[in-house]
Amino acid sequence: MNGDSSGKQQADFDALVASDQRIEPRDWMPDGYRKTLIRQIAQHAHSEIIGMQPEGNWITRAPSLRRKAILMAKVQDEAGHGLYLYSAAETLGVDRAELLDLLHAGKQRYSSIFNYPTLTWADMGAIGWLVDGAAIVNQVPICRCSYGPYARAMIRICKEESFHQRQGFEILHTLSNGTPEQKAMAQDAVDRWWWPSLMMFGPTDAESPNSAQSMAWGIKRFSNDELRQRFIDMSVPQAQVLGLTLPDPDLAFDDASGHWVPGPIDWDEFYAVLQGDGACNEERLANRRAAHDEGAWVREAADAYAAKQAVRSSQAVA
């Protein structure tokens, strides 16, 4: 390709992004844009399916049939989110099997939040309220991402996440208004999940060197710190309704800015979990690899069925 035509392609791409239109799979895009999206969408897809594990642990121990049915539906939703996102990644020219291999080899990440253990039933409430709540704040702007398939996948995902958040809030509300033991269990879960939820937005803007490029490409709309602040401002009044406290003695309302300002975040913990030192890193990956191996026969059966159908339809044409 000569310089003129690639310059024109870059200009067309820039114009599409600047006018807030969508880049579609058939469109030319810069290599860096494609690579960034593949990495981000894959990490997002991996997070959805690894995220099934901490809650899957509690399906058999849900306190009632109603809670069990809701939790099963929620965990199934997360599998569905993984599927939409792997499909969106495939429109960029990668294969889902390749992405799963990278996850299993530890070469692509998933959200560190899922490396924390789920110790009590109240954790199902705290995860729904805080982890799905943080996911919503992160993901709603991605509904306007410049890459069409990712943006469209996110619209449906966000609708389901909002149900997840409300079911978590309802679990905590019930426990918080229950016996003193139940209320203490709810408080303990919030104490353990609050800080990791704040870390879900990623490092501070100063430590997030790739954010500016992602913003220029229309992939990212708000900075990590802006989204984290939005989540804190949203969560403080909800905690008050729940009758639970947030485990941050420095958290205070700042009249000048109109925001709730948190105390310092323990970034050493964030980086330690990211590097593999979380309570559950090894367990999550081992479970994922085992599930993949045990599912080999399903993939083989699907391939055999597809091959049979292809022969049949070619015979029908002949």
Smallest distance from Fe ion to CB 135, Å: 6
Looking at 9-17, 124-132, 137-145, 244-252, which segment touches Fe ion (CB under 5 A)? 124-132
Nearer to Fe ion, 16 or 85 (CB): 85
Residue closer to Fe ion, measured from CB, 167 or 211 = 167
Nearer to Fe ion, 168 or 218 (CB): 168
Instruction: In angstroms, give the least distance from the CB of 93 to Fe ion.
Output: 24
Distant-in-sequence, close-in-space partners of 171: CB < 8 Å, separation ≥ 6: 67, 121, 122, 124, 125, 128, 129
Q: How far apart are CA 303 and CA 141, in angstroms?
A: 37
Q: Helices marked H in 243-295 — which ranges?
A: 267-272, 281-294
| Measured distance CA(274)–CA(165) in Å, rounded | 25
Site size for Fe ion (CB under 5 A):
6
Determine if residue 118 is left, alpha or beta; phi over 0 gives left, psi from -120 to 50 gives alpha, anything else beta.
Answer: beta
Which residue do the tokens 């099963």 mark? 72
Residues 80-109 that bind Fe ion (CB under 5 A): 81
Binding track over 152-171 against Fe ion, x by CB under 5 A:
---------x--x-------
**Cα Rg for the chain, rounded, in angstroms?**
22
| Min dist. Cβ of residue 176 to Fe ion (A) | 21
| Token pair of 166 as six digits | 């409300």
Backbone angles phi, psi at 40, to 5 degrees: -70, -45
| Among 55, 123, 132, 248, contact with Fe ion (rule: CB under 5 A) | 132
Which of 55, 78, 123, 248 binds Fe ion (CB under 5 A)? It is 78
Q: Is residue 183 a contact point for Fe ion (CB under 5 A)? A: no
Instruction: Give 16 or 103: the residue with its C-beta nearer to Fe ion.
Output: 103
What tokens does 313 get?
A: 């339809």
Spatial distance between the Cα atoms of 292 and 150, rounded to a whole number of angstroms: 25
Whole-number minimum distance, CB 48 to Fe ion, in Å?
5
> Which CB, 46 or 81, lies closer to Fe ion?
81
Nearer to Fe ion, 46 or 173 (CB): 46
The Cα 302–Cα 315 span in angstroms is 20
